[in-house]
A and B are shown apart, each in its own frame.
Chain A
Amino acid sequence: MTNLPNVLNLKPNRLLAELNAIRAIVIKQWLHTVRYPTWVLQLLIWPLIFPAAYILTARAFAGPEQIALPVFNAATGTDNYIGYIVIGTLIWMWQNIVLWNVGLSLREEQLRGTLESNWLTPVWRFSLLIGSILVQTVTIFFFIAVTFLEYRFLFQIHFQGNIGLVILAFAVAFPSIYGIGITFASLVLRIKEANSLVHFVRGFVMIFCGITFPISVLPGWMKSVSQWLPQTYVIRAIREITLVGADFNMVKQDLLILLGFGFIWMVIGYFAFTFMDRLSRRSGSIGQY
């Protein structure tokens, strides 16, 4: 008969063990994503049809002979209203996807009844969210690439500027977008009315961040609100780079502000997560839905 050891030999290298856990979470999340083949359809069609609704409306506003286009140019600094709308709606879609996928990842585990057992494993709990974010990052990368390619080649929309700078702008926006997602994921563990909350948060971005319009047309109090939202800055920076051909110095300030927001949202996200974790464990509500 084999003698069982008195002490279980857990992996001595804590970091390696955590990385291993994250790898397992990533594989699980990836399998979930690709299990439903409609994700390919969504990846190809949404980047095309969502901006299209606003683009066609803008076309109606421009008029049959584009008589109102100079007015738009005066307000935005560009004639390219299609590119202008594509960039704004792309950032909105990014935040929206993060809210649904990362923001609801823990809630979905809660609904499936697997959150409590996962919570009991000897793994850093934050890894559950990191795994979701990593898978999300891969799919969103394709989503962004598909958006630019579809509008470039199907609609001949000319995006200019340094591609490295565009990638940098997306990269510095990353912590803010995902920080909001993490905060959201933590809140819905307690509040539970997840779908309604997604509508409110993404609605905020839709109203205040200028996804289809320049912030200058907003009333004063709305302009003040928009300045506190990171999406405003990423939309403006990417528009400047891709539509006006701005260089690093021209968008440096927006990128620095985005980094600041990113730091703040990541800290808020982490503390919201640990606070909600402690609260839920104390009240025994982790397994409830």
Chain B
Amino acid sequence: MKNNEIELPKITLRSYLNVLFVIANKDWKVYWRYPINALVNILNPLIWLAPIFFLGKAFSQNGEALGFAAYTGSTDYMSFLILSTAISNFTSAVFWGMGYALKNDMDSGVLESNWMTPIPRLLILIGRTLNSLLVTSIISLIMIILASLIFGFRTTGNIWASVLTLIPMLLGLYGFGFGFAALVMIMREANTMVDMGQFLIDLFSGSQFPVTVLPRWLLPVALSIPLTYGYDAVRGWLLNTKTILPIQTEIQLLLVFMVVMIIAGVFVFRKLERRVRSRGTIGQY
């Protein structure tokens, strides 16, 4: 080696894994640095469950929600809701966490310098996905434990089958998050879009109720959202509720969703990221 040359380390799979670990570790530290925010993330879903819990009581006779059972095949509406809320935490993490991941870096003024590092830019998002998945899983688990103590939560079905069903759904969701993060980066002020977008997706995919209660003209909207089948299949596995389609068909739809969303998310991210670079707005906010 000549004296005036700097030897850069070779890019290997190990160096990529190292990068992923560093990014995920940084996000992990930032997240737990604000313990009150973490506490709010655990308690907030429980707060939102309370009005539904008591609403269910107003419709129940001798503790039995018979109307609900006629739709779902189960009178245990709280287990239905707690499970849906846990899944909904991931939707929220994708919209608010992943969606704002690059925008937050932009606001803190570190995006431009991160973009200059010799690592694939997509890797930055994958690193953030790992942390988001881990943190949201922990938060959801704590939430389920607390909700079980407060409201009661019973599962009679196959836990492993439901976890396996969740995997393609979550991967598809995070694939969507890649494209969405780039969109927020280009729009910069997207609070209303994110807030309403998440609320509507949650609403129409039946995070609080079986989608069969929707008026006929809204049902096609619900059935065109792949998350609807994710919620439905997981509840079907764990609570033995009536599903819209046979569970195997719903899983196949989720697999298609996963592949399409990952490809589309990466494509949109690359396109928009190039556009932001050519406009020179990476450092602006």
Complex CA distance for A207 and B55, rounded to whole angstroms: 11
Closest approach, in angstroms, between the C-beta of B29 and any C-beta of chain A?
Answer: 19
- B52 contacts across to A, CB distance below 8 A: 54, 57, 212
Give the nearest-CB partner of A62 in chain B: B67
Decide if A36 touches B58 in the complex (CB within 8 Å).
no
Decide if B36 touches A206 in the complex (CB within 8 Å).
no
Partner among B50, B58, B199, B209 whose Cβ is within 8 Å of the Cβ of A60: B209
Partner among A56, A68, A203 whose Cβ is within 8 Å of the Cβ of B47: A203
With contact pairs A53-B203, A53-B208, A57-B208 given, residues A64 and B59 touching in the complex (Cβ less than 8 Å): no
- B54 contacts across to A, CB distance below 8 A: 210, 212-213, 217-218
- A69 contacts across to B, CB distance below 8 A: 59, 67
Decide if B51 touches A206 in the complex (CB within 8 Å).
yes
With contact pairs A38-B192, A41-B192, A61-B65 given, residues A56 and B51 touching in the complex (Cβ less than 8 Å): no
- Interface segment, B38-46, B133-141, B232-240? B38-46
Is B180 interfacial (CB 8 A cutoff)?
Answer: no
Closest approach, in angstroms, between the C-beta of B183 and any C-beta of chain A?
Answer: 15
Interface residues on A, range: 35 or more
Complex CA distance for A84 and B43, rounded to whole angstroms: 26
With contact pairs A41-B192, A53-B203, A67-B67 given, residues A203 and B43 touching in the complex (Cβ less than 8 Å): yes
Closest approach, in angstroms, between the C-beta of B146 and any C-beta of chain A?
Answer: 14
Mask of A65-105 contacts with B, CB within 8 angstroms, 1/0: 11111011001100000000100000000000000000000
Is B210 interfacial (CB 8 A cutoff)?
Answer: yes
Give the nearest-CB partner of B50 in chain A: A207
Is A211 interfacial (CB 8 A cutoff)?
Answer: yes
Decide if A60 touches B71 in the complex (CB within 8 Å).
yes
Give the nearest-CB partner of A60 in chain B: B209
Closest approach, in angstroms, between the C-beta of A107 and any C-beta of chain B?
Answer: 15
Complex CA distance for A72 and B59, rounded to whole angstroms: 5
Decide if B71 touches A63 in the complex (CB within 8 Å).
yes
Within 8 A of B (CB), among A17-55: 36, 38, 41-42, 45-46, 49-50, 52-54
Complex CA distance for A212 and B69, rounded to whole angstroms: 20
Complex CA distance for A42 and B39, rounded to whole angstroms: 28
Closest approach, in angstroms, between the C-beta of B2 and any C-beta of chain A?
Answer: 51
Within 8 A of A (CB), among B49-72: 50-52, 54-61, 65-72
With contact pairs A41-B192, A214-B58 given, residues A63 and B70 touching in the complex (Cβ less than 8 Å): yes
Residues of B within 8 A of A (CB): 36-37, 39-40, 43-44, 47-48, 50-52, 54-61, 65-72, 77, 189, 191-193, 196, 199-200, 202-203, 208-210, 213-214
Given contacts A45-B196, A61-B77, A67-B67, list 12 more A-B pairs with CB under 8 A: A49-B196, A58-B55, A60-B67, A60-B72, A60-B213, A61-B55, A61-B67, A68-B66, A195-B40, A206-B47, A207-B50, A213-B51
6 tightest A-B CB contacts, nearest first: A63-B67, A68-B67, A61-B59, A203-B47, A213-B54, A38-B192
| Between-chain CB contacts (< 8 Å), 19 pairs | A38-B192, A49-B203, A56-B203, A56-B214, A60-B209, A61-B60, A61-B65, A61-B77, A63-B66, A63-B71, A68-B65, A68-B66, A68-B68, A71-B61, A85-B55, A196-B37, A200-B43, A207-B51, A218-B54
